[in-house]
Chains A and B, each alone.
Chain A
Amino acid sequence: MALLEVTGLGISFGGLRAVDDFNVIIKKGQLYGLIGPNGAGKTTIFNLLTGVYKPTDGHIILDGENITGKKTADICKAGIARTFQNIRLFSELTVLDNVKAGLHNEFKYSTFTGIFRLPKYFRNEKSMNEKAYELLKVFELDKEADVLASNLPYGKQRKLEIARALATDPKLLLLDEPAAGMNPNETAELMDTIKFVRDTFDMTILLIEHDMKLVSGICERLSVLNFGQVLAQGDTSKVLKDPKVITAYLGE
């Protein structure tokens, strides 16, 4: 069953066609990779999927719901969560509060309830803490729950971003270069974590990555992007052997 169905997606910035006629179908539970040289338009596709940019053409259907052109916050509510290439944490909040911010729409209580600390405040804060700690444990961040996010080492910041995205209880998780800046050990560990997340949360994941070891190691299917257009698409092993893809990566 298709969880995400993108047809004819495109956007132009002025005269530049950043993404053109992008089509993809991602099945539920799939680990899907989006690769391509720098500037190919990968992050732009993430920004289109999450409503940061409004597409000029095409449709995005998530789990049967048309989310094309919706606002970022509404798309999150519809079920897409993401991480960012240049980490975007709430740097002056604690690790715990970063995750709790992600639970914003799951445990609701009014501002009034919050200010006057009505019973609902305590109930919801308690559930929020429990859920947040559960997520932090998955990423081995529970010991650092009270540390400011900006004081975490780089690798843990990346993990925290994933934890925060998962806190929004998404149907589809977008990871933008999760292994960027990690050493081979950390990357190997990250691969396990991503697989673990997929299996435990029954998550569908679309990721952008340059690390081919990670891509070939965990992605079941791939789309290769070059100059805003799809160069190849299909099963990972086949796509990586495609001469066009090799040329695009290594040059003529």
Chain B
Amino acid sequence: MAKKIFTKDNSTYIIVILAYIIVEALIGTGNLSSLMKGLLVPLCVYVILAVSLNITVGILGELSLGHAGFMCVGAFSGAFFTQLVGDSLNGGLRFAIAILIGAVVAAVFGILIGIPVLRLKGDYLAIVTLAFGEIIKNIINILYVGTDANGLHISIKNAAALNLDPETGRIIIKGAQGISGTPSDSSFTIGVILVLITLFVTLNLIHSRTGRAIMAIRDNRIAAESIGINITKYKLLAFTVSAAFAGIAGVLYAHNLSSLVALPKNFGYNMSIMILVFVVLGGMGNIRGSVIAAVVLTLLPELLRGLNEYRMLIYSVVLIAVMILSWSPTAKAFRERYFGFLSRRKKEVS
């Protein structure tokens, strides 16, 4: 079994690398529409978000509805850094540092939010993470940050309240208008590299002593405590790692857009829920599943684009149908009866 798990891990890396090679080949031969090209970086963003949320939901077993909040924090801190240093650093190094900053800031938020939130249980925890996500989005929307010769100026009122020196002053975060003019440092290749890093850390974490402790807490908190596992420490650790990668996804996202604005659509609870859908459909704790689900569910509405206004309707029906067909006992029994030969995994029944 130990060997089998590692093959599954490897298959995840191989799928990502193969997909990358195929896409690059399609681009090289001019067979990829510009629409699809525009989707490549967002796809990487969603994959990283889904994998990272799976750490909280699938591995730690706590329902989080505020993942987009961490992405938001990462996106703004990363883009802020890039704007601040401007051309004084070369693109590659600047982006690498931006990623690091996004990850660290999101991780710090993960710790700050995790300490109170992780004391709660189940649906209460879910609603509080949702609340934190919304608060973050709201605060970003009234945040003004500028810089001048005297250093940084921060305000939550308006641009004028920054009191910038008119000569050297420059506003970087403009309240509801967010950050504009971020250089597009991200690319599909960088996105795929970040996906691979996320996968590497997540999969290795799962198969380590730390991962075992986290999953033990998920399966039975009281038993985990009784064998000497520090519950608070490992819960917080999982939550923080999850937040850090959401931050990285945010930085990638921010450097793919010339204008970054915190809208309900991109950083609100709707986004958090969409990522949760990826995780659940891909399978709780199933990292490869998260990758596949994120890609398929992001591409699905685009593939249905020909159907125009019906596409989101079809998407919703497909979502409901897939959930019922894959989870309901009746559907499971039906599948086993008529398509039993297709199911490779037979669960051992005692």
Contact = CB atoms under 8 A, between A and B. Distances in A.
B35 interface: no
Given A93-B215, A115-B201, A82 B224 contact: no
Give the most central of A77, A93, A128, A147: most B CB within 10 Å.
A93
Contacts of A82: 226
- Mostly, the B contact residues are helix
Given A73-B230, A101-B216, A147-B348, A90 B209 contact: no
Nearest to B229: A104
B209 A107 contact: yes
Interface string B204-221: 110111111101101110
B14 to A, nearest CB: 19
Nearest to B222: A88
Interface in B1-20: 1-2
A52 B1 contact: no
Contacts of B209: 104, 107-109, 114, 124, 128
B225 interface: yes
B2 A168 contact: no
Contacts, number: 114
Interface in B301-350: 347-350
B43 to A, nearest CB: 25
A167 interface: yes
B231 interface: yes
Given A101-B224, A104-B227, A117-B204, 15 more contacts: A72-B222, A73-B229, A81-B227, A89-B220, A90-B216, A91-B220, A92-B219, A104-B213, A105-B228, A111-B237, A114-B204, A115-B200, A115-B205, A121-B208, A167-B227
27 contacts: A52-B225, A71-B225, A72-B225, A73-B230, A76-B227, A82-B226, A88-B220, A90-B220, A90-B223, A90-B224, A91-B219, A91-B220, A92-B219, A93-B215, A93-B216, A93-B219, A100-B212, A101-B224, A102-B227, A111-B208, A114-B209, A115-B200, A115-B201, A146-B1, A148-B348, A152-B350, A165-B226
B133 interface: no
A108 B228 CA distance: 12
B285 A165 contact: no
